[in-house]
Amino acid sequence: MAKMITVSDIAKMKSEGKPISMVTAYDFAMSRIVNEAGMDMILVGDSLGNVMLGYSSTIPVTMEDMIHHTAAVMRGNDHCMVVGDMPFMSYQADMAEGIRNAGRLLKEGGCAAVKLEGGSEVAPMVKKMVEAGIPVCGHIGLTPQSVNTLGGFKVQGKDVAAAKKLIEDAKALEEAGVFAIVLECVPAALAKKVTESLTTAATIGIGAGNGCDGQVLVCNDLLGFSNGFCPKFVRKYANVHDIILKAMQDYKTDVEARTFPAQEHTFAISDDVMEKLY
């Protein structure tokens, strides 16, 4: 079995300036391929609400959804550091409930760390989780669980006050003990400044430019699963939508033309047996 990547490896990568690769995955099959590709980290993001379950936001995602998908990813994982996302309202209402839910993701989902959204306001909870032995990844900038208060999916930290708050939030999270922080939809120069202002916590950017310690993308986006809207910050490395569409159309055509299954897909039985049937 390959060696599992740990928080110490991530810290070492940050200190050595070695870029950290992270991608989302939500099931066994994708996890196997991501491992084969040698990725450093997998995020079982609550974006699964959008891309796997068809919700229009991450708000409806439950702890049960997250545990179910995290456990599936872990069954396909043999070396990536897997981070499970804390879904909306699994940690916002109550500190003890948040810590118990983070513990559930590790115990029942089997991941190595949790991620939660928010800045200095969640720092006390992060501290308690870390003290309880739960590695935590922060997430600031565009935090999709707060889409209703942010007023939509917009680039964050664009004025002086918001940019200063982002830097302070990152420092508060680092002080509380996070090993990494996702920076989502943040201007590149600001994300670089945040990265340089941290000593131990690695920054993982998504729509945050090339100055972060690492990068994360949603696997469905980078694979081109959808032929619809694609955020500006995504590079599509494949067009899986077109590949799957063509395969499905070809299969349907073959079934209708009775050209599938062919001889090589078919099991034989001896004529003797067939003759004795009637």
Q: Which residue lies nearer to ligand KIV by CB, 16 or 201?
A: 201
Tell me which of 45, 109, 135, 187 binds ligand KIV, using CB under 6 A.
45
Q: Is residue 43 part of the contact set for ligand KIV (CB under 6 A)?
A: yes
Torsion of CA 106, 12, 195, 116, to 10 degrees: 0
Is residue 182 at the binding interface for ligand KIV, with CB under 6 A as the rule?
Answer: yes
Instruction: Specify the residue, 190 or 216, whose C-beta has the smaller distance to ligand KIV.
Output: 216
Contact 204, 20 (CB under 8 A): yes
CB of 117 to ligand KIV, least distance (A): 8
Identify any residues that bridge with 42 across adjacent strands, giving them in sequence order.
23, 82
Stretch that binds ligand KIV, among 29-37, 42-50, 226-234, 240-248 (CB under 6 A): 42-50
Cβ at position 258, least distance to ligand KIV in Å: 43
Q: What separation in angstroms does the CA of 240 have from each of 64, 225, 236, 243?
A: 28, 5, 10, 5
Is residue 218 a contact residue for ligand KIV (CB under 6 A)? yes
The answer to whether 168 is a known catalytic residue is: no
Query: Is there binding between residue 81 and ligand KIV (CB under 6 A)?
Result: no
β-sheet bridge partners, residue 149 = none
Catalytic residue among 36, 117, 168, 184: 184
Phi and psi at residue 75, in whole multiples of 5°? -65, -20
Q: Given the rule CB under 6 A, which of 38-46, 91-99, 223-231, 259-267 is the region that contacts ligand KIV? A: 38-46
Q: Which residues does the annotation mark as catalytic?
A: 184
Contacting residues toward ligand KIV, per CB under 6 A? 24, 43, 45-47, 85, 139, 182, 184, 206, 216, 218
